[in-house]
Every structure is written in structure tokens, then in C-alpha cells.
Amino acid sequence: MHLSSALTPDAFDYSPDRLAACREPQPGSLRQRPGAPDLGGRRAGPVVDHGPLGSRLNAPLPTNGLVPARAQPILRFENLTLGYNRHPAVHHLRGEVAAGSLLAIVGPNGAGKSTLLKAIAGELRPLQGRIELNGLERRQIAYLTQSTTLDSSFPMVVHDFVAMGLWREIGAFSGLSRAQRGNIEHALGVVGLAGLEKRAIGTLSGGQLQRALFARVLLQDSPLVLLDEPFGAIDAASVRDLATLVRRWHSEGRTVIAVLHDLEHVRQEYPETLLLAREVVARGDTASVLSEENLLRARRLAEGRGDDAHAPVCHAVGNVE
């Protein structure tokens, strides 16, 4: 799918019927590999979806070529252990994420959620095991980090900030073509920032800055979108508008994986969920994963009162592929 077709006004149909179709829960985004242990091996919680997870897409097949006729895995985790200074933050993760998934990752603070996204994006090397990408390269991944990692005091206007979404397309020294400038203008309109192109990013509200970040992701036109706390500390209107954009990405066949804290939002918007607490507590259908029993177990693990309170030092080093 090319940018010129992706950013036409017709590509963003926000009619009530269209949005209702995007909300329909159609599970199947996360699946166990045939013949492999459950996600997380012996530490894994119950597999709450007893069907063949990942056997179909969460949305009708798109016509833009982003997803093949069968929902092949876009990500595969092979005995994946992640951490810092050889102390694991995520233990022995095994499994697959199907192309076209809309998947939430939730868990207590320090559960390894952001760590997992960093590893998928290629910013963190595994302590053990590996991550396999199927049908895409890491440069094709759109990764929206937490807004707390952004220095909004940097002297840059909104237009140039959003244009950074075209970095891999234009490089460091190439100028913007007329078509690219048109795409930037359209992206700003989609996220509700039309007319603010010349505003310094340091003058934006939290919601406006997050809209600008979403516009930058929109320009990347990526088949795999990683969102780390995309709705934290922003106004309700921005949450509503940006959640609409996430649903639209999903309906186009893109794979969206989001780290989130608002469990009610997850229940309303995400058909499948992975619950982490340094290990897999549960994964599958969101309503079943977010049970009181599973949430209590996750809290106990995070507080060091669970099955493995003291993570051992990991001496093995795996490969990222």
C-alpha cells in the first residue's frame, strides 16, 4: 500500500456503521505455536481461548495487500527472555502473533510490557531466545514510545515534527516533494491539527502533542504498529479520536500491538490481550484474560509474592532476527 492511496480522505471513513464494524470482537490475534509449550512455558497462566488462536484475522480481509489471504504470523517468539544487566524482565516467552491482530499488552508496573515492545522494535537485544519477523523488516515497524521520552523543548514546529515520519523515505538531506507535503497536511487534518503547522511543539498541550505523534506514525504507513502507553495523561477527546484511528489501522489489516493501563478501554477496544507480570499470566480473549483471578495473580507476581519472586541472572545471549 502506497502513501498516496493510504492518505486519501476516503481511506478514513469515520461513519457510525464503519466504526461499529471495527469494534466487533473477532478473536484470533495471538496463538500458540504447534508443538510448542504455552506462552511462557511452565510459568504461563491458563490459555483462556481453547480454540486455535490466530486461525483468522480480527477484521475482514483488506483489499490493499497488507495481509495475505491466510493470517500468517507476523511475529514469532522463540524462548524469549528480555532484561537489563542480565536480570530478566520477561521470562521465556513462546508463541506467535498473527498478521492483522489488534492486541493489548497489560500488566502491573515493571511487568516487562515496554521492554517487550523495545525488543520487537529492535532497540533491545534478548538475553536468551529470539524474535522472528515474518514478511517485514524492522525498518518497516512504526514504534510510538511513551511521551515522557520526548523532549518537547526542542525548537521544532509541528509540520517538521510530523514530517519525521517520512525519515526513511526521504533521508537526512532530501527535501520534501509536493506530494509529501500534501500527505503531511492530510495527516495533520486526520488527527485534528490542521492550522497548527507552524506552532512550536513546546507550546502544544499533551493531547495535541500525542495527536502529532500519531500523525507521524500515520505517515510511516507501516504494516506493524507498536504503541507504548498511547493514551496516558491526555484529554478524553484526544483518546476518543486517536482510538478511532487505531481501529481504522486495524480494519486496514495492519497489526497493532499496544501497551495500555486503562483496562476498561482494553475491554472495549481490544479483542485479545496478553497479561504480563515478568512472565505470562494469561493470553487470549480479553474478557477472560482480565478476570479477577488473573489480575490478582499478576499483582502478586509483581509484588514478589508469586511463583518466582527472585529472577535469576541469565547468562545466555540470544539473537535478534
- Asked if 54 contacts 28 with a C-beta cutoff of 8 angstroms, the reply is yes
CA distance 76 to 270: 20
- In 10 A of CB 158, how many CB atoms? 24
pLDDT at 302: 86
CA 129 distance to own-chain centroid: 21
Task: Note the pLDDT tens digit of each residue in 90-140.
Answer: 989 999 999 999 999 999 998 999 999 999 999 999 999 999 999 999 999
Task: Note the pLDDT tens digit of each residue in 246-282.
Answer: 999 999 999 999 999 999 999 999 999 999 999 999 9
At residue 40, what is the residue type?
G
CA distance 290 to 283: 9
CATH class of segment(s) 16-152+223-302: alpha beta
User: 31 falls in which pLDDT band (50, 70, 90)?
Assistant: low
Q: Is 306 exposed, middle or buried (0-12, 13-18, 19+ CB in 10 A)?
A: middle
What b-and-e string marks burial along 90-102, b requiring 16 or more CB atoms within 10 Å of the CB? bbbbbbbbbbbbb
Task: Note the pLDDT tens digit of each residue in 148-161.
Answer: 667 778 889 999 99
At residue 98, what is the residue type?
A
First-to-last C-alpha distance (Å) of the chain: 24
Residue 112: strand, helix, or coil: coil
- C-alpha cell of residue 30: 495471538
CA distance 73 to 75: 5
Q: What pTM does this model have?
A: 0.78
